Amino acid sequence: MSNCVRCGRELPGFSFGKKICQWCVQHEAEQRGEVAEDARQAVMPTPWVRRSAPTIGVTHVIFGINAAVFLGMVLATSSVMGFTGPDLVHWGANLGPYTLSGEWWRLLTSVFVHGGIIHIGFNMWCLWNLGALCEVLYGPWAYLAIYLLCGVGGSLGSVIWNPRVLSVGASGAIFGLAGALLAAFKLGEFSAPRAALSGTLRSVGAFVVYNLIFGAAISGVDNAAHIGGLITGLILGALIALFAPRHEHPPRRALIFLLLTLALAAVAAGVAHYHGLPFRIGMSPFRGSR
């Protein structure tokens, strides 16, 4: 079922070739002076406005988890500006020898670990802005699944490109949110008018380009995680827009998330095989050699 290109309202079934809803047709005719002054414009709810906003959203929960982990690390290490490599590994950092040899949970835990106050401050600022928009468009549970899967995709990208380099931070997941938003806007399947989103999504595109350039120019920035998360988000956003654009399609969305989870697992198994390691789940045999 297609949407009106003017306002985003859902068009009735079998609207072949029609891209504008009756409300917009009448509204534009009225603006041109082609409708009698006493003609009554039908009252229809705007589909892009949330009817009820929960007090605590998924973005707040994710923000709180990141803040709680960071606070725990500060209390455990008495450091704020930066943490040592062993400390980051202890708290769940992504490191190829450990991750690829069985500690696959690091692909996800590393998304909630940050290297210092500046690192987490910048990432949480980006999350607060992109997450709010993504949560409105996709709904809370789909948004959470996108965030987590993009975080894993970003961590996998880091392991593939830099298997012996420590990787932490939410930036891969945040780039994934940007990718999902860009794909959704490009394919135009969400109930939101282009005028309401175009400015914000131009900013999203600028955010992606600027940070990729910045990451390539500055040493210590894990651009592989950014790219991995971005690609995962673009794929998820495109699949949802094409096959499950409406919030009323939870089974289709669940299937998309399941298929992508299996695809990421297959990529992880392939990377482990490439490095001559059997695909296993458990404590890394390298841990004893720390």
Q: Which of 101, 158, 167, 171 is catalytic?
A: 171
The question of whether 171 is a catalytic residue gets the answer yes
The question of whether 79 is a catalytic residue gets the answer no
Q: Which of 101, 155, 167, 226 is catalytic?
A: 226
Cα separation, 36 vs 12, whole angstroms:
26
The phi, psi pair for 125, rounded to 5°, reads -65, -45
Given a contact cutoff of 8 angstroms between Cβ atoms, the answer to whether 155 and 225 are in contact is: yes
Our measurement of the distance from residue 133's CA atom to the centroid of its chain's CA atoms, rounded to an integer in Å, reads: 11
Q: Which residues of 199-212 are buried (b: 16+ CB within 10 A; e: fewer)?
A: eebeebeebbeebb
Beta bridge partners of 94: 167
Residue type at position 241: A
The secondary structure of 171-229 as a DSSP string is: HHHHHHHHHHHHHHHHHT-SSS-HHHHHHHHHHHHHHHHHHHHHHHHSTT--HHHHHHH
Quick one: 34 exposed, middle or buried, by C-beta within 10 A (0-12, 13-18, 19+)? exposed
End-to-end, the C-alpha distance of the chain in Å comes to 56
Q: So which residues are the catalytic ones?
A: 171, 226
